[in-house]
């Protein structure tokens, strides 16, 4: 049985997968390690491969940023499957506002220490969620390293991948404000799914995953 490596999104940790049913599978929760300032998503993916000893023919499931890193891992080692939830496969699928922030660097105006306390942006960017899930997300955000947050924002905006590896499976919500679904190719569209549909659309995602796994 292939090991399944779960990679969370930006501002999250393994708890983002708490509603995802992977019982019976050998699961490894990937936690963020501190990047070097010069790291790209590609070089950071290599560090995760080495740190977690991810072998060929593994399965990687990535949510949001985790999906982008999953693509980079799949470009370095042949995976059995790489599964993206609320993410993008290539720079062509990135939203148009990426170019604005990349050129303006407005995100650099936010003090590093404030990056993990932008809780007021959660509901607007990610969509409404239950009080319980909102508290969980705030907890994950507060526990994220500000150094990692600042690096990741830059690395995401600079990502210029145009290669789709083999064995990629992708799902996106039609209400996702972070990664608009109309720019996404070859993905299962979840009706009513926001950027955090991994919480409130877990039933649909679990059914989809069961068919893939």
Instruction: Write out pLDDT tens, residues 55-113.
Output: 999 999 999 999 999 999 999 999 999 999 999 999 999 999 888 878 777 665 565 55
Sign of CA dihedral 184, 188, 191, 194: negative
Single pTM value for the model: 0.92
Quote the DSSP letter at residue 35. P
Can you give the pLDDT at residue 121?
Answer: 60
Contact between 175 and 190 (Cβ < 8 Å): no
Top pLDDT among 166 and 107 is at 166
How far apart are the C-alpha atoms of 171 and 149, rounded to whole Å? 24
As a whole number of Å, the CA-based R_g of the chain is: 16
Cα gap 27→2, rounded to integer Å: 9
Please say whether the beta carbons of 68 and 9 come within 8 A.
Answer: no
> What does the pLDDT read at residue 200?
87
State the Cα–Cα distance between residues 211 and 135, nearest whole angstrom.
31
Q: Which domains does the chain have, with CATH numbers?
A: 4-212 (3.40.50.1820)
């Amino acid at each position: 049985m292939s090991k399944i490596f779960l990679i969370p999104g930006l501002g999250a940790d393994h708890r983002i997968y708490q509603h995802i049913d992977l019982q019976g599978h050998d699961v490894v929760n990937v936690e963020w390690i501190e990047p070097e300032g010069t790291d790209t998503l590609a070089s950071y993916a290599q560090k995760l491969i080495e740190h977690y000893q991810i072998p060929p023919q593994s399965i990687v499931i990535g949510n949001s940023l985790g999906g982008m890193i999953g693509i980079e891992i799949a470009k370095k080692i042949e995976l059995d499957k790489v599964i993206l939830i609320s993410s993008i496969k290539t720079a062509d699928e990135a939203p148009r506002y990426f170019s604005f922030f990349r050129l303006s660097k407005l995100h650099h105006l936010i003090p590093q220490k404030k990056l993990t306390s932008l809780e007021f942006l959660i509901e607007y960017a990610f969509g409404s969620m239950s009080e319980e899930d909102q508290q969980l997300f705030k907890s994950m955000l507060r526990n994220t390293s500000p150094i990692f947050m600042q690096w990741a924002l830059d690395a995401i905006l600079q990502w210029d991948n145009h290669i789709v590896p083999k064995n990629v499976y992708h799902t996106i919500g039609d209400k996702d404000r972070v990664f608009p679904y109309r720019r996404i190719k070859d993905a299962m569209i979840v009706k009513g799914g926001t950027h955090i549909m991994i919480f409130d659309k877990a039933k649909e995602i679990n059914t989809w995953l069961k068919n893939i796994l």
